[in-house]
Amino acid sequence: MDKGGFMKTVILFFFLALPVAAQDLRGIEVLRDLEYGKGAGTSLKLDLYRPEVSTMQPKPVILYIHGGGWRGGDKRKAAMA
């Protein structure tokens, strides 16, 4: 694939991804700042997004870990998550 074709593919991908980014959170329960542990005296927290209506059907899981090299950082600074 030449450079022009690659760039067109990248641009097309981002346009196709826009509807996914625009989805609202209806039907989703959001639990913020759940403490899952402590590290060096600092509370370690996560946000959990799950369906409001629970079923016994298996569901896919996405685990997003923000950058920081396991030494620093803050989940609030990862706006895309």
* Per-residue confidence (pLDDT) for residue 1, from 0 to 100: 60
For residues 74 and 65, is the Cβ–Cβ distance under 8 A?
A: no
Q: Cβ distance 42 to 36 under 8 Å?
A: no
Judged by phi (left if over 0) then psi (alpha if -120 to 50, else beta), residue 11 lies in alpha
The pLDDT of residue 35 is: 94
* Residue-level pLDDT at 53: 87
pTM passes above 0.85: no
pLDDT given at position 21: 56
**Low-confidence stretches of the chain (pLDDT beneath 70):** 1-3, 18-25, 69-70, 78-81
pLDDT at 80: 58
Domain definitions of the chain by residue range: 25-81
